[in-house]
Amino acid sequence: TGKFTYDPAFTSTASCESKITYIDGDKGELLYRGYPIEQLAQNSDFMEVSYLLLNGELPTKEQKDKFMHDITYHTMVHEQLNHFFSGFRRDAHPMAIMVGVVGALAAFYHDSTDISDERQRIIASYRMIAKIPTIAAMAYKYSVGQPFSYPRNDLSYAGNFLHMMFSVPCETYKVSPTLERAMDMIFTLHADHEQNASTSTVRLAGSSGANPFACISAGCACLWGPAHGGANEAALKMLEEIGTPDRIPEYIERAKDKNDPFRLMGFGHRVYKNYDPRATVLRKTAHEVLNELNIKNPLFDVARELEKIALEDEYFVEKKLYPNVDFYSGIILSAMGFPTSMFTVLFAVARTVGWVAQWNEMISDPVQRIGRPRQLYTGATRRDYIPMDKR
């Protein structure tokens, strides 16, 4: 039309300016506020990374203590919210519960829906980061028919989450340091990824002035899709379906067949045209967790073999398809005891800080206006209404 550019799936449109996360897809580089993800995964922890994403700088000891205090202050949810869960079927997908319950937080925390008040925006951010693990664990507990476990503020963010997921009142639950570390690492690696589909959804929802809880709920809804956060669940299901290394070639051929909709789940990325740096870290973590738990998981062998074969195959090489973050995370999470249906929920727990940081950045941006993509209209030209008896 001359007035705007046609860019389906926004492959070449920058929708905003951002100082939070940088990706160089050709180099396979991911930086949070300038710091390489490998260094953060190795030396930092999720709370420190959350502070960094929200505030732009690594915290001092005092700043981190204060931040942890502010987050843990908000870990409980309103007792009335417990009743929500019993309205769902026990076999409901936990992401369906997340979308509903997260959106409903706006009905409980009215003060935080005033987005013109910077202080309230900060409190809303803390509330979201603090409550999302609680809600996620409640969704799981409800599905298995166990009582909810209240948060424990003496534990780390990851340790508390494992406690809320796996402790039962009749036993003393001790969080394994290796699993706590692995959980924290998974949270760190998933914390932000610039303008991916769910983050763009959060920004677009927020651009209308919608309250933060509604925006994060929209992010959860988008993340649920199998091309996005649902891929970790799909990747593990695929590895289970393949079952043994001898069946890999059959699936590789299917993935290459243009007439077969099958794709290798956990492979390929819109931005990374080189190894996803998060997958490198997670492959190592998968190894450590399986060793620690003394688990011999044949699916890990299938995954490693599949990766090896694909990386040598002309089709995958030419299209620059490499394992992404979701390829190994499922193996770790199932070894830790998470059911497959919880994988995307864990992604949502981790990504909440990224969504919140991006939402805050957008709200404080003076050029921010309501997001309103245009379209290339390809429908009928103007025509006159035809009465029913003439159609």
Site string for ligand CMC, 243-282 (x = CB under 6 A): ------------x-------xxxxxxxx------------
Number of other CB atoms surrounding residue 364 within 10 Å:
10
Query: In this complex, which beta carbon is closest to ligand CMC, that of residue 171 or of residue 312?
Result: 312
Does residue 257 have an active-site annotation? no
Judge whether 29 and 36 are in contact, CB under 8 Å: yes
| CB 330, min distance to ligand CMC, A | 11
Token pair in block for residue 51? 């502070």
Based on CB atoms, which residue is closest to ligand CMC, 75 or 195? 195
Where in 178-207 is the site for ligand CMC (CB under 6 A)?
A: 196
Q: Which residue in 269, 276, 365, 389 is the catalytic one?
A: 269
| Of the candidate residues 319, 337, 364, 373, the single one contacting ligand CMC (CB under 6 A) | 319
DSSP reduced 3-state for 193? coil
Cβ-in-10-Å burial (0-12, 13-18, 19+) of 157 comes to buried
- Per-position x/- string for 204-243, each x denoting binding to ligand CMC as judged by CB under 6 A, each - no binding: -----------------------xxx-x------------
Distances (CA, A) of 46 to 81, 87, 372: 26, 33, 34
Secondary structure letter of residue 92 according to DSSP: S
- Single-letter amino acid, residue 18: S
Q: What is the DSSP string of 226-243?
A: TTTTTHHHHHHHHHHHH-
| 85 contacts 97 by C-beta, under 8 angstroms | yes
Mark whether 269 is an active-site residue: yes
Q: Which of these segments, 121-129, 212-220, 239-247, 318-326, binds ligand CMC (CB under 6 A)?
A: 318-326
The smaller minimum CB distance to ligand CMC, of residues 186 and 255, is found at 255
Candidates 326, 365, 384, 389; catalytic one: 326
Three-class secondary structure of residue 172 per DSSP: coil
Per CB under 6 A, residues contacting ligand CMC are 196, 227-229, 231, 255, 263-270, 319, 321, 324-326
Residues marked as catalytic = 269, 326
